[in-house]
Amino acid sequence: MSSTAVPMVHGRASKYLDRSFNRQAMKILPGEFYATTEDEVIVTVLGSCVAACVMDPIAMVGGMNHFMLPVKQGDRDPDVFFAARYGAAAMEYLINNLLHLGAQRDRLVAKAFGGGNVLPGMSSDVGGQNVAFVRTFLSNEGIPLWSEDMGGPHPRKVYFFPHTGQVLVKRMERAHNNTVLNRELSYIKEFTGPSMAGEVELFS
C-alpha cells in the first residue's frame, strides 16, 4: 500500500507516559487517527486541520482523527464532492475502528476542534472549509456534536480522554508554531491531486 493510496493511517507514533495526566498518551499527526478502549489520553496539535473526537460513552470506546480537506486545484472539475469525499473517508476510518472496538453507531457522539485560519499564503479559507465539512458530516450522519472549539486565528493543542469524553484545549500563540504550520503545509502537498484515491482490484 502506498502512502497516498489510503489517506488515514492508524497512529504510528509510539506511546509515551504523560506524567501530567499519569496515563499513557498517544500523539497523532496529520493524516492519522487512533481509537482505543483504554483509559489513555490522545494528543494532537492543530492549525487549520480539524480533529474529531468520537466516542461511545456507554462502551467507553473513543478515538480521534486529524485531517484536512484537500484544496481544489482550479475550477475546471465539476466535481462538487472533491474535498468532501476525502473528509468522509477520514471520518469513516475512525468510526469503523470504533465499531470494531465495540462501539455502537447509534450511540456515537462527537467533539470537534481546530480549523483555525493559520496557514499563511493560502488564498482560500482552508480552516473554514474543514470546519464546515465536520459540522455538515456529523449532522448528516446523526452524530451529535457535544462541544466544539473551531475557527479563529489560533493553533490548538488538544487532549482527549476517551474513557470520560473530557477534552482539554490549549489555544497557542501562532508566532511560536512554525512546526505546526510546516507539518500542515507538507501534508497538503502530499494529499492533493489525482493520487488521492484508494486502490482498485477486480477479482478474476
Partner 1 sequence: MARCILTVDDSSTMRQMITFTLKGANFDVVEAEDGVHALEVAKGRKLDLIITDVNMPRMDGLTLVARLRALPEFKFTPILVLTTESDQSMKMRGKEAGATGWIVKPFSPEKLMDVVNKVI
Residues that are catalytic? 49
Coil, helix or strand at residue 32: strand
Closest to 124 (Cα-Cα) out of 195, 170, 192: 192
Question: Least distance in Å: CB of 38 to partner 1?
Answer: 22
Nearest CB to partner 1, comparing residues 55 and 91? 91
The residues in 140-169 that bind partner 1, with binding defined as CB under 8 A, are: 140-141
99 binds partner 1 (CB under 8 A): yes
Among 19, 22, 106, 120, binds partner 1 (CB under 8 A): 106
Query: Environment class of residue 75 by beta-carbon count within 10 Å: exposed (0-12), middle (13-18) or buried (19+)?
Result: exposed
Nearest CB to partner 1, comparing residues 136 and 186? 136
Q: Give the amino acid at 47.
A: G
Q: What is the C-alpha separation between 38 and 141, in angstroms, rounded?
A: 26
CA 15 to chain centroid: 18
Tell me the C-alpha to C-alpha distance, in Å, between residue 189 and each of 84, 106, 112, 174: 17, 36, 24, 21
Q: How many residues bind partner 1 (CB under 8 A)?
A: 34
> Using an 8 Å Cβ cutoff, are 137 and 102 in contact?
no
> Using an 8 Å Cβ cutoff, are 16 and 25 in contact?
yes
Among 7, 11, 30, 47, binds partner 1 (CB under 8 A): 7
Question: Least distance in Å: CB of 178 to partner 1?
Answer: 30
> Using an 8 Å Cβ cutoff, are 55 and 161 in contact?
no
**Residues in contact with partner 1, shown as a per-residue x/- string from 108 to 147 under the rule CB under 8 A:** ----------------------------xx--xx------
The residues in 53-92 that bind partner 1, with binding defined as CB under 8 A, are: 79-81, 84-86, 88-89, 92
Residues that bind partner 1 (CB under 8 A): 1, 5-8, 79-81, 84-86, 88-89, 92-93, 96, 99-100, 104-106, 136-137, 140-141, 194, 196-203
